[in-house]
Structure formats: C-alpha cells, structure tokens
C-alpha cells in the first residue's frame, strides 16, 4: 500500500484540508487523458502487466468524462477545461482520482503462473497500489503510482451500471521513463524470437540491438515477411547464447512497440528448466556482465 495513504482521509476530516497544485494536476491529465488506453500492474509486480482505459476523473468528488481545452493558470494554479460542453474551473483542488473500469478480460493474456500470482496479489482491489504506464511519446513513457481508494458501481451518467475503481493519485510520483535508457547496453547479438499463434509456434531470426533492465530491442532479419512479425501485446520468447559461452538464455516478454522491423519487448520473466520464472536482478546483472564481454557491446550513448 502506498505510504501517502497513511496521511489521507478516506471520507471527511483533516484530509479535506489537503490542497493539490492545479498545475501538477493539469500535467497529470495531459499524460493520462480520459479515453487513453494504459497499462498497469498491482503492488509493484511488473510481471503482472495488464491493460485498462481511463473513463473519467473525480475532481473534488465531481465526476467528469472529458477535458477539452485543458488549461492551467501558471500563477494561480486554477484548472479550467470543458466537459461535454460544460465549462469547469477549479481554483482549489482537494481530491483528484482517476477512474478505470473493473473487468477481467485483460487477465487472459497472463499465463497460468501469473494468473495465480494475480489472484493472490489482487488487482484493482481497495488498498492495492496500482502503477499506471501511459502512452509512449517521444521515447518516454509516463509512469504514475496510484492506490485503489474504493470500488463502486456508477449509478448514473455515461457508464451507469459499470463497476469502476477510483485511483487516488500520488502527485509526487509522476516520472517520464525511457523504457530502455536505464543502464542500457548497445549490442549486436544473434537472437531467435519464438511466438505462438493459434496453437502453432513460429521461430523468427534477428539481432538483439540493445538490452536494459526492463526491455530489449530486436531487429528482425529481412527474410521474414511483415505478416509473420509479432504484433504489439504479443507474448514472445527471445533466446540467445551468452557471448563466448555455450550457455543459452531465454527471456519472456510482451511486444511493446513495432516500428518497421524493430521490436521493443518489455521483459516479464525468463525460462528456467522449462518453467517461466521472474527475471531477478541477479539474472539481469549476469546477462549484462556477459554481454559486455562481447566485442559488439557498448554502453549506449
């Protein structure tokens, strides 16, 4: 559970004296707009990555479904926007929550082991920390920590009857993360990409172009047509031999982005003795140390 919950009131009292900076709220709304499809994971378990969509905000307990003409006064911090033709102006913001629907469809992309882990951890349940990852822009991804303050069934409005989760935002946690820049290594190592579709497994050859703690980038060989290339959200297994060794490494991940023949894969685990397990820091350091022994590897500049 997020530490900031400890100092917040869940329904009246001293927590009502808290005032948020409208300029920060405006920035959050730009990075996480209504209608945006976002990824999230609960309780800092990055391997339990799921998808959802932002359907509304709750600002000072007022639910708004859009934020056209979003603007904020740099001096006063007054937040202004239009919601379905209705003008809003918030001079004092005491609460800002992101509203997402509660459903289980996105869980089907998890393998059995991760579905079991999600069952134990819980997803969009009250008290859980939820980390949101927004849309990739300009080489960066906005990352934001939130916490489920409550679940509720909306009684009116556009989504009447829909079960939703209200996510209390930690306004200090927003960061723009380069998904591959953290201790990123540039390399040129032959790799094989394994993908399963409709019960059939395909092997695609390529080159690993860079590697970091959270992701890797692959360049697929020209002999493979676009039709066989993995698509965004596809689960893949990337295999390669450690430089100068006979040791074989197989990493599991989800395709985050496809640009021509380049794939960015967000890492979620590795294969050990035929089983998918979490990719720990020791394994990551071992891979990096061995990659640095390869003449084609260098620190990314």
List, in order of start, the domains of the chain with CATH numbers: 3-177 (no CATH), 185-299 (2.40.10.220)
Is-contact 214 238, C-beta < 8 A?
no
Helix (H, G, I), strand (E, B) or coil at 5: helix
Top-confidence residue, 13 or 89: 89
pLDDT tens, residue by residue, 196-222: 887 788 899 999 988 987 789 999 998
Average pLDDT over residues 284-298: 81
Average pLDDT over residues 111-123: 82
Average pLDDT over residues 111-131: 86
Phi first, then psi: give them for residue 92, nearest 5 degrees: -130, 115
**Whole-number Å distance between alpha carbons of 218 and 292:** 17
Is-contact 238 218, C-beta < 8 A?
yes
Helix (H, G, I), strand (E, B) or coil at 210: strand
Stretch (H or E) spanning 197? strand 185-197
**Whole-number Å distance between alpha carbons of 27 and 171:** 10
Stretch (H or E) spanning 255? strand 248-259
Alpha-carbon distances, residue 176 vs 133, 167, 213 (angstroms): 10, 19, 16
Say what percent of the chain tops pLDDT 90.
39
Mean pLDDT of the chain: 84
Q: Quote the distance between the C-alpha of residue 258 and its chain's center.
A: 16
Average pLDDT over residues 6-17: 42
What per-residue confidence (pLDDT) applies to 208?
93
Is-contact 168 149, C-beta < 8 A?
yes
Top-confidence residue, 151 or 172: 151
Tell me: pLDDT of 176 over 80: no
Alpha helices in 50-205 (DSSP H): 112-121
Burial of 70 (0-12, 13-18, 19+ CB in 10 A): middle
Tell me: pLDDT of 172 over 50: yes
**Whole-number Å distance between alpha carbons of 217 and 289:** 18
């Amino acid at each position: 559970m997020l530490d900031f919950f400890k100092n917040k009131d869940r329904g009246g009292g001293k927590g009502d004296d808290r005032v948020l900076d409208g300029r920060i709220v405006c920035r959050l709304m730009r990075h996480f707009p209504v209608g945006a499809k976002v990824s999230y994971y609960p309780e800092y378990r990055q391997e339990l990555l799921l998808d959802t969509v932002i359907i509304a905000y709750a600002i000072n307990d007022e639910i708004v479904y859009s934020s056209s003409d979003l603007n904020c006064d740099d001096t006063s911090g007054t937040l202004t926007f239009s919601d379905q033709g209705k003008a809003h102006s918030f001079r004092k913001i005491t609460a800002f929550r992101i509203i997402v629907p509660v459903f289980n469809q996105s869980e089907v992309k998890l393998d059995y082991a991760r579905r079991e882990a999600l069952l134990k951890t819980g997803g969009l349940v009250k008290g859980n920390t939820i980390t949101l990852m927004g849309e990739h822009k300009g080489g960066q991804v906005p990352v934001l920590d939130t916490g489920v303050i409550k679940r509720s069934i909306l009684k009116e409005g556009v989504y009447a009857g829909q079960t939703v989760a209200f996510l209390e935002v930690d306004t200090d946690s927003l960061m723009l993360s380069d998904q591959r820049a953290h201790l990123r290594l540039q390399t040129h190592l032959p790799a094989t990409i394994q993908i399963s579709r409709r019960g059939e497994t395909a092997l695609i050859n390529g080159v690993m172009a860079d590697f970091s703690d959270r992701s890797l980038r692959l360049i697929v060989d020209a002999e493979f047509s676009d039709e066989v290339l993995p698509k965004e959200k596809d689960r893949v297994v990337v295999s390669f031999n450690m430089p100068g060794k006979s040791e074989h490494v197989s990493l599991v991940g989800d395709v985050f982005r496809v640009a021509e023949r380049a794939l960015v894969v967000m890492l979620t685990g590795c294969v050990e003795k035929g089983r998918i397990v979490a990719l720990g820091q020791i394994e990551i350091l071992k891979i990096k140390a061995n990659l640095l022994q390869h003449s084609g590897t260098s620190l990314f500049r």
